[in-house]
Structure 1
Amino acid sequence: MKLLLIEDNATMQATLRRSFERRGMQVLGCEDGARALGLWQASLPDAVLLDLSLPGQDGLDVLRQARSAGLRTPVIVLTARGTVGDRILGLNSGADDYMAKPFDLDELEARVRALVRRSGNTSDLPPGTSAAWSGMHVDRDNGAVYFQGEPMELAPRELALLQALLGKPGHAIAKERLFELVFPGQTQVQPEAIEVVAYRLRKKIAHTGAQLVTLRGLGYLLKASA
């Protein structure tokens, strides 16, 4: 699971980072509200932990802009603003949950995992379970993708791309992020190579009823045919 931690208190950020990384999660940190939305869009985390009192831009403004931009990532607001009115304002701005500081780390982790499960995000499924969508599913033991119980014949890079897209069906994934997953560590490969893989994959999944859609300036997403 990948978390985006938007928190300007260095001690709090370091504590949370260590805690979640010990629990096997990847944590990206951001301490500036003005940079938060761009990092959110580029990294496509599984969940966001958001402080409200941030330099550069208030956390509620970041949250409103993210929701307006179509980002549906589960968000837990972490803040010293603990009144009922503050909680209502945060939830009405698009937060999924709200925890007032100080809070229990075990409870925070439980809430994060519960939100990710409810959102349909599958990146933290345990080994042996499958991510299923539109008749396709990824076997977490061997990485193969099946359609209606039959294994799909895909080249390794096509398989890597489809696995990534099936992790967030219906959500745009940045082309840069997909390139990293399909061509890991291959700095000699041109970024445009991901377009060739997407073109080939689009033809191979046409019979499933799923569409691989190109969103200019955003990346790719999987959606079900109407």
Structure 2
Amino acid sequence: MQILIIEDDKRISDFLIKGLEEHNHLVTLCKSAEDVLSNYLFIAWDLIICDIMLGEVDGIQLVQTMRFKKIYAPILMLSALNTVQDKVAALDSGADDYIIKPFHFDELLSRIKALTRRNYYQNQETPANILVFDELKIDQSQHQVYVYEESVELSPREYKLLNYLVENTDKTVTRIQILNAVWGITFDNHTNVVDVYISYLRNKIEKKSKYIVTIKGVGYMFKTR
């Protein structure tokens, strides 16, 4: 799983990262709400672990902002505050669970499993024609593409090219294959139209992450992390 940890206490963050990586999770650490909002908001996280006491923008405010921006990943709050009012405030802000410091790592793992299991069953209701790759989202039913939740205007040909690349995710497709699938051309007529449209796509969808890889002398690949 891709897990985002938002924690400014190095002792706790080191403890979390070490334990989660030992269980084969991919972990990214942010030390402030500002860093999350600027750089990591629209990545498709499987889980977010967030401390409440963060600084100028606390964890409660950050969770409210994430939910307002339609970030639906499960969120587990960490806090040394243990009153009923503290827990209610965290859960009302949009968090899914709340664990009090100090805690045993086994308990944290158990809560993570429960949250991700719950999220898995909820996601069975998500339409299969909506694809998410980090900050890139493709709604195949509406032929709409979004980057950081902002609509990206693609021409019909650009959309068809993107869709073909996505259908062959992590596979190399040759220029001839692309010409055949997108333009209906079954032979190499020495046109550079594929390279031109690949450039158009990159300029529109690759803001931070790079998706389209050039396979030198062969063609292209839509690559996921």
Shorter-chain TM-score range: 0.5 to 0.7
Partners of 2:68 and 2:75 lie apart in 1 by: 14
Aligned counterpart for 1:199 among listed residues 163, 179, 190: 163
Q: For structure 1, list consecutive stretches of 5 or more residues without a partner in the other structure.
A: 123-130, 135-164, 179-193, 205-215, 220-226
Following superposition, the deviation at residue 201 of structure 1 comes to 6.3
Work out whether 1:75 is the aligned partner of 2:75: yes
Alignment of 1:41-60 (within 5 A): 41-60=41-60
Aligned partner of 1:98 in structure 2 is 98
Partners of 1:81 and 1:171 lie apart in 2 by: 38
- Three-state SS of the structure 2 residue aligned to 1:43 is coil
1:46 and 1:39, CA in 2 relative to 1: closer, same or farther beyond 3 A? farther
1:170 and 1:117, CA in 2 relative to 1: closer, same or farther beyond 3 A? farther
C-alpha contact 2:43 2:135 (8 A) present in aligned 1: no
Identity, % of aligned positions = 27
C-alpha contact 2:42 2:134 (8 A) present in aligned 1: yes
Partners of 1:79 and 1:7 lie apart in 2 by: 10
Alignment of 1:16-35 (within 5 A): 16-35=16-35
Q: For structure 2, list consecutive stretches of 5 or more residues without a partner in the other structure.
A: 139-157, 169-204, 210-225
Aligned partner of 1:158 in structure 2 is none
Aligned partner of 1:159 in structure 2 is none
Partners of 1:28 and 1:112 lie apart in 2 by: 16
1:104 and 1:175, CA in 2 relative to 1: closer, same or farther beyond 3 A? closer
TM-score normalized by the length of structure 2: 0.58
C-alpha contact 2:52 2:60 (8 A) present in aligned 1: yes
The Cα offsets for residues 125-157 of structure 1, whole Å up to 9 and x where unpaired, read as: xxxxxx9788xxxxxxxxxxxxxxxxxxxxxxx
1:23 and 1:37, CA in 2 relative to 1: closer, same or farther beyond 3 A? same
Partners of 2:164 and 2:130 lie apart in 1 by: 20
Following superposition, the deviation at residue 174 of structure 1 comes to 3.7
Partners of 2:76 and 2:166 lie apart in 1 by: 35
Higher Rg? 2
Following superposition, the deviation at residue 57 of structure 1 comes to 1.4
Aligned partner of 1:116 in structure 2 is 116
Partners of 1:201 and 1:110 lie apart in 2 by: 38
**Matched length:** 154
Q: What letter is aligned with 1:199?
A: N
Following superposition, the deviation at residue 202 of structure 1 comes to 8.1
Runs of 4+ in 1 over 3 A off after TM superposition: 131-134, 169-178, 194-197, 201-204, 216-219
C-alpha contact 1:47 1:75 (8 A) present in aligned 2: yes
Following superposition, the deviation at residue 94 of structure 1 comes to 0.2
Following superposition, the deviation at residue 35 of structure 1 comes to 1.2
Superposition CA RMSD, Å:
3.7
Following superposition, the deviation at residue 217 of structure 1 comes to 9.8
Aligned partner of 1:84 in structure 2 is 84
TM-score normalized by the length of structure 1: 0.58
Aligned partner of 2:212 in structure 1 is none
Following superposition, the deviation at residue 37 of structure 1 comes to 2.7
Q: What letter is aligned with 1:79?
A: S
